[in-house]
A and B are shown apart, each in its own frame.
Chain A
Amino acid sequence: METLLQQLASGLASGGIYASLALALVMIYQATDVVNFAQGEMAMFSTYLAWTLLNAGVPYWAAFVATVVLSFVGGLLIERLIIRPVEDAPILSIVIVCIGLLVILNSLAGWIYSYIIKPFPSPFPPRPLRLGSVVFGTHDLGVIGITLLMLLGLYVFFRFTPLGLAMRAAAQNPVSSRLVGIRVGWMLALGWGLAAVLGAVAGMLVAPVVFLEPNMMSGILIYAFASATLGGFTSPVGAVVGGFLVGITENLVGTYVPLIGTELKLTVALVLIIGVLLVRPSGLFGRATVRRV
Chain B
Amino acid sequence: MAKLDEALVSSKLRYPWRASRVLGYGKGMAGGLLFAAAVVVPFFLSNYQVFQLTLAYVYAIALLGLNLLTGYNGQISLGHGAFYAIGAYTAAIMMERWQIPYGWTLPAAGVICLGVGWLFGIPALRLEGLYLALATFTLALAVPQLLKYFEAWTGGVQGIVLMKPEVPWGLPVNQDQWLYFLTLGVLLLAMLLGRNLLHGRVGRAIVAIRDHPVAAATMGIHVPLYKALTFGVSAMYTGVAGALGAIVIQFVAPDSFNVFLSISFLVGIIVGGLASISGAIFGALFIQFVPNYAQDLSKAAPWAIYGVFLILCMYVMPTGIAGFLRRLTRRWQVGGTADRAV
Q: A267-B142, A289-B128 are in contact. Are A108 and B274 (CB under 8 A)?
A: no
Q: Is B4 an interface residue (CB 8 A)?
A: yes
- Binary interface encoding of chain B residues 266-302 relative to chain A, with 1 for a CB under 8 A from any of its CBs, else 0: 1100110010000000000000000000000000111
Query: Are A97 and B308 closer than 8 Å at their CB atoms?
Result: no
A278: chain B residues within 8 A (beta carbon):
123, 126-127
Query: Are B311 and A33 closer than 8 Å at their CB atoms?
Result: no
Q: A96-B310, A264-B145 are in contact. Are A281 and B127 (CB under 8 A)?
A: yes
Q: By the criterion of a CB under 8 Å from any partner CB, how many residues of chain B are at the interface?
A: 54
A92: chain B residues within 8 A (beta carbon):
7-8, 70, 76, 266, 270, 274
Segment at the interface with A among B20-28, B129-137, B164-172, B187-195? B129-137
Segment at the interface with A among B46-54, B99-107, B313-321? B313-321
Q: Is B141 an interface residue (CB 8 A)?
A: yes
Residue from the list B7, B76, B303 in contact with A107, Cβ < 8 A: B303
CA distance A39 to B315 in the complex (A): 21
Query: Are A107 and B302 closer than 8 Å at their CB atoms?
Result: yes
Q: Is B263 an interface residue (CB 8 A)?
A: yes
Residue of B whose beta carbon sits closest to that of A292:
B2
Query: Are B3 and A96 closer than 8 Å at their CB atoms?
Result: no
A35: chain B residues within 8 A (beta carbon):
130, 133
- Binary interface encoding of chain A residues 51-90 relative to chain B, with 1 for a CB under 8 A from any of its CBs, else 0: 0000000000000000000000000000000100110111
Q: Determine chain B's interface SS by DSSP, over half rule.
A: helix
For chain A residues 212-241, which have a beta carbon within 8 Å of chain B?
222, 225-226, 229, 233-234
Q: Is B83 an interface residue (CB 8 A)?
A: no
B11: chain A residues within 8 A (beta carbon):
89-90, 93
CA distance A82 to B311 in the complex (A): 8
Q: A100-B310, A106-B303 are in contact. Are A93 and B8 (CB under 8 A)?
A: no
For chain B residues 76-99, which have a beta carbon within 8 Å of chain A?
76
Query: Are B145 and A93 closer than 8 Å at their CB atoms?
Result: no
CA distance A292 to B2 in the complex (A): 9
- Binary interface encoding of chain B residues 215-257 relative to chain A, with 1 for a CB under 8 A from any of its CBs, else 0: 1000000000000000000000000000000000000000000
Residue of B whose beta carbon sits closest to that of A172:
B3
CA distance A106 to B214 in the complex (A): 42
Q: A93-B270, A277-B127 are in contact. Are A100 and B307 (CB under 8 A)?
A: yes
Counted as pairs of residues, one from A and one from B, with CB atoms less than 8 Å apart, the total is: 151
Q: Is A273 an interface residue (CB 8 A)?
A: yes
Residue of A whose beta carbon sits closest to that of B215:
A293
Residue from the list B7, B131, B149, B266 in contact with A281, Cβ < 8 A: B131
CA distance A101 to B142 in the complex (A): 25
Distance in angstroms from A261 CB to nearest chain B CB is 10
Residue from the list A100, A106, A267, A292 in contact with B145, Cβ < 8 A: A267
Q: Is A127 an interface residue (CB 8 A)?
A: no
Q: A89-B11, A96-B271, A229-B131 are in contact. Are A266 and B141 (CB under 8 A)?
A: yes
Residue of B whose beta carbon sits closest to that of A279:
B126
Query: Are B319 and A104 closer than 8 Å at their CB atoms?
Result: no
Q: A92-B270, A96-B271, A111-B300 are in contact. Are A274 and B314 (CB under 8 A)?
A: no
Query: Are B2 and A289 closer than 8 Å at their CB atoms?
Result: yes
A110: chain B residues within 8 A (beta carbon):
301
B308: chain A residues within 8 A (beta carbon):
100, 104
Residue from the list A89, A229, A270, A293 in contact with B318, Cβ < 8 A: A89
Distance in angstroms from B51 CB to nearest chain A CB is 25
Distance in angstroms from A190 CB to nearest chain B CB is 18
For chain A residues 139-186, which have a beta carbon within 8 Å of chain B?
172
CA distance A97 to B259 in the complex (A): 18
**Looking at A92, A222, A226, A277, which has the most chain B CB atoms within 10 Å of its CB?**
A92
A225: chain B residues within 8 A (beta carbon):
134, 137
Query: Are B315 and A103 closer than 8 Å at their CB atoms?
Result: no
**Looking at A33, A35, A107, A264, which has the most chain B CB atoms within 10 Å of its CB?**
A107
A290: chain B residues within 8 A (beta carbon):
2
Q: Is A2 an interface residue (CB 8 A)?
A: no
A263: chain B residues within 8 A (beta carbon):
145, 148-149
Distance in angstroms from B24 CB to nearest chain A CB is 27
A264: chain B residues within 8 A (beta carbon):
145-146, 149
B178: chain A residues within 8 A (beta carbon):
none
B126: chain A residues within 8 A (beta carbon):
277-278, 281
Query: Are A222 and B141 closer than 8 Å at their CB atoms?
Result: yes
Query: Are A103 and B307 closer than 8 Å at their CB atoms?
Result: yes
Residue from the list B2, B127, B133, B263 in contact with A99, Cβ < 8 A: B263
For chain A residues 245-293, which have a beta carbon within 8 Å of chain B?
263-264, 266-267, 270-271, 273-274, 277-278, 281-283, 289-293
Q: Is B40 an interface residue (CB 8 A)?
A: no
Q: Is B304 an interface residue (CB 8 A)?
A: yes
CA distance A266 to B146 in the complex (A): 11
B7: chain A residues within 8 A (beta carbon):
90-92
B128: chain A residues within 8 A (beta carbon):
281, 289
B320: chain A residues within 8 A (beta carbon):
93
Distance in angstroms from A268 CB to nearest chain B CB is 9
* Contacts A99-B263, A266-B141 known; 9 new A-B pairs at CB < 8 A: A85-B315, A93-B270, A100-B308, A100-B311, A101-B311, A229-B131, A233-B130, A277-B131, A290-B2
What are 25 contact pairs spanning A and B, CB under 8 A? A29-B130, A33-B3, A89-B318, A90-B7, A90-B10, A93-B314, A96-B267, A96-B270, A100-B309, A102-B307, A103-B307, A104-B308, A107-B301, A107-B302, A107-B307, A111-B301, A226-B138, A229-B130, A229-B131, A229-B134, A277-B131, A278-B126, A282-B1, A283-B131, A289-B1
3 pairs of A and B residues whose beta carbons are closest in the complex: A89-B318, A104-B307, A107-B303
